[in-house]
Amino acid sequence: MASTHDSEGEWGPGSLRRSLRLITLTACLSMIYSTAVTSPATTQYFQDLGASEFHFSLLAGIPLIMLSLQFLGAMLTNRLSRRRPVFLVLNILGRLMYIPVAFLPLWGPLGESRFLLPVMIGLLAVGSACTNLIVPMWLAWVGDVIPRRRLSTFWGQRHAWMHATWTACYVLITVFLYVADLPVQWIFRILITIGLLAGVLDVVLYLWVREPVPVKAPVQRAPVWSQLLEPLRHKEFRSFVVYSCWWQMAVSWAAAFMQVYVIRVFALPTWQVSMIWCSAGLGAMLASRTVGRLADRHGNRPLLVISVSMKSMIAIVFLLMTRESVVWVLPIAFLLDSILNAGLVVAGNGYMLRHAPLHNRAMFVAAITGLSGIFGGLGALASGAFLETIADVRWHLLGREWNHYQVMFAMGVLLRWSCILLVRRIKEPTSSNSFEVLHELGNIWPFQVFLFPLEFGRRFLRKWDESHRELHE
């Protein structure tokens, strides 16, 4: 949605700086909320309540399918004269749904009923619906605030602070899980209470983030179907929509069950799982600022191509790791994988906000986050159904036994590889060549560690080619 003011118009530089700082601070508070509600204690909590693979697939898949409500949120955004009141009410309401989820098992009649898990999943679906209605609204709002010339740079800095908070939270959660002599259900309730305090404060702080006044855009008078289809008619944006949908499905196929796999198959203590997962923020914390600057300088497409091309690594690790190796292999893999995630998030958001036209930005945002969310939800649900179907089957190959989770991870690797073809079709004429950006990344910490094998192989092949040529001259 267009604004009557640009990012540095009559508001003044002081107002802009304060708003950008608040947007970063709220991201950190949101990360406290996120780690509290998605920690290994949450997985253990639902497992203790009797959740099956199908229940876990619903927990992972329904919120992603609820992303489809972002189209409704985009149409609502295009008609609002003020975004802040609706944003505050729906966001707080959605987050408060975790209160009954945490405390319903204590209520006698329902706590022992077979309807407990369906009711809890339904409450989380309602919370997810509220949250997704305001996502296009929020992105259109902050897109009006952030200066276009430093869009990816700011997004990278914000992402770095978010994952610094993520890492600190997971360290604290790990310590708490280790020292707390409490049942996991009470640990979950304590974490939820802390997370909700941070999550509500995060939303309330937007009272002090400036809100450029929307103008009446032509799209508001256009038919609904015209608004919905405009992102697909946009030649450059259409390729990004197709990639995003297939990519989200490919990722969700395996990612929805990674934590469940470690807890259920390897039977690691909850505190140890939390310790492993805290490494998932370190790489993003170290790399996001650099990724943001590179995206502003070279474009978003090359970073997307590089990240997607290497993203199958984490699925391969889950496929091959054993009970003996998980404690040291997985933290290293998560560290490297989070560097790739930084590239995907910063470059993906940068491409989306940079190429979405102001007059219908909310709908273009929904076309990415909403439509791809539907595919992601379907991927998680399909994966859960697949696991249920082959749960009792074991395969013997290459001298070892492979369980149903490993078969699912193997399929996840193939799905991620298929995305390489689609990400290369993304159109961004002004962007640099991917190999040029890859070469520059090879000279920057912490990418040097990750890209050393590729750089070593490239130099070895070049030297071998030169020596081979000299022998024939």
pLDDT of residue 218: 55
pLDDT at 473: 52
For CA atoms 125, 127, 133, 139, the dihedral sign is negative
Most confident of 45-49, 67-71, 408-412: 408-412
Q: What is the pLDDT of residue 445?
A: 60
| pLDDT level of residue 216 (50, 70, 90 thresholds) | low
H helices of 219-325, where? 224-233, 235-255, 258-264, 270-277, 282-298, 301-310, 313-320
The reported pLDDT for the residue numbered 4 is 42
The whole-number pLDDT of residue 406 equals 92
Residue 2: per-residue pLDDT: 41
Q: Count other Cβ atoms within 10 Å, centred on residue 181.
A: 4
Question: Which of 111-125, 188-202, 253-267, 379-393 has maximum average pLDDT?
Answer: 188-202
- What average pLDDT does this structure show over 438-460? 62
For the segment 187-216, the average pLDDT, to the nearest whole number, is: 90
Q: Which residue type does 277 have? A: W
Higher per-residue pLDDT: 7 or 209 = 209
At residue 16, the pLDDT reads 87
Q: Find the range with the poorest average confidence among 100-104, 176-180, 305-309.
A: 176-180
**429 CB burial (10 A radius; 0-12, 13-18, 19+):** exposed
pLDDT at 21: 94
**Across the chain, what does the average pLDDT equal?**
84
Which of 84, 197, 207 minimizes the C-alpha distance to 138? 84
- Give the residue, 158 or 143, on which the prediction is more confident: 158
Q: Show the domains of the chain with their CATH numbers.
A: 13-209+224-451 (1.20.1250.20)
Q: Running DSSP on this structure, what letter comes out for residue 83?
A: S
Q: What is the pLDDT of residue 249?
A: 93
Query: Is 10's pLDDT higher than 50?
Result: no
Beta-sheet strands, E only, within 330-373: none
Half-sphere exposure of 291 (CA within 13 A, CB side): 34
pLDDT, position 90 = 97
Asked if pLDDT for residue 273 goes beyond 70, the answer is yes
Sorting pLDDT into bands at 50, 70 and 90, what band is 225?
Answer: low
Compute how many other C-beta atoms are within 10 angstroms of the C-beta atom of residue 272.
Answer: 18
Q: 7 or 296, which is more confident?
A: 296
Q: Encode pLDDT of 343-392 as tens digits.
A: 999 999 899 988 887 777 888 888 888 888 888 888 888 998 899 888 78
Q: What would the mean pLDDT of 461-465 be, rounded to a whole number?
A: 51
Q: Band of the pLDDT at 454, cuts 50, 70, 90? A: low
Asked if pLDDT for residue 194 goes beyond 90, the answer is yes
Q: Across-strand partners of 395?
A: 402
Lowest mean pLDDT among 56-60, 176-180, 237-241: 56-60
Whole-number pLDDT of residue 409: 95
